[in-house]
């Protein structure tokens, strides 16, 4: 957000370090911050000059942070990619470790990013508010911001 505001926008490089960042936040052009109990209330549409998607960061994450990103991957699989869904189903028992360490996990991430790009590209600037990948975004911010214990 700061890069989009300073001097009417300066180039920045996005380097996501979480799974949710790799497959969701890194793909779009939105920048935002929470404000007065509202998630992403203040923001802009400002694409990064480039984005570095480096899966090696995932090796440092606790399992719960990987599981958080997997929820977004499952959503992409449900709305865009049957092959991705089957990969997840076939590897359900060890999918967290696979994603953290590459191999089939790399294919899972690549398919998820590709699915997200395919879903967002036709409406990148959100002239239309209806997007399948936004399923769940209506109510989830209220839960996240008002939970007794921090949620991911």
| Sign of the Cα pseudo-torsion (18, 24, 26, 32, in order) | negative
Q: Is 39 a catalytic residue?
A: no
Which of 30, 39, 75, 100 is an active site residue?
30
In Å, what is the CA distance from 3 to each residue of 10, 12, 42, 54, 94?
5, 7, 14, 22, 38
User: Which residues contact residue 94 at a Cβ distance below 8 angstroms, ignoring those fewer than 6 apart?
Assistant: none
CA torsion angle 146 43 6 10 (round to 10): 120
Q: Tokens 């470790």 — which residue?
A: 97
At residue 62, φ and ψ (nearest 5 deg) are -65, 155
Pick the closest to residue 53 from 127, 117, 149, 2 (CA basis).
117
Catalytic residue positions, numbered: 30
């Amino acid at each position: 957000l700061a890069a989009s505001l300073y001097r009417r926008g300066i180039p920045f490089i996005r380097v996501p370090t979480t799974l949710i960042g790799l497959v969701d936040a890194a793909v779009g052009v939105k920048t935002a911050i929470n404000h007065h109990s509202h998630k992403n209330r203040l923001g802009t549409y400002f694409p990064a000059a480039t984005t570095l998607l480096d899966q090696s960061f995932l090796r440092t994450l606790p399992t719960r942070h990987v599981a958080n990103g997997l929820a977004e991957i499952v959503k992409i699989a449900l709305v865009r990619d049957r092959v991705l869904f089957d990969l997840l189903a076939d590897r359900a028992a060890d999918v967290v470790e696979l994603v953290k360490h590459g191999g089939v996990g790399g294919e899972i991430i690549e398919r998820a990013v590709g699915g997200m790009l395919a879903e967002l590209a036709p409406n990148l600037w959100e002239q239309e508010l209806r997007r399948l990948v936004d399923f769940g975004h209506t109510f989830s911010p209220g839960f996240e911001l008002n939970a007794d214990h921090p949620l991911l």
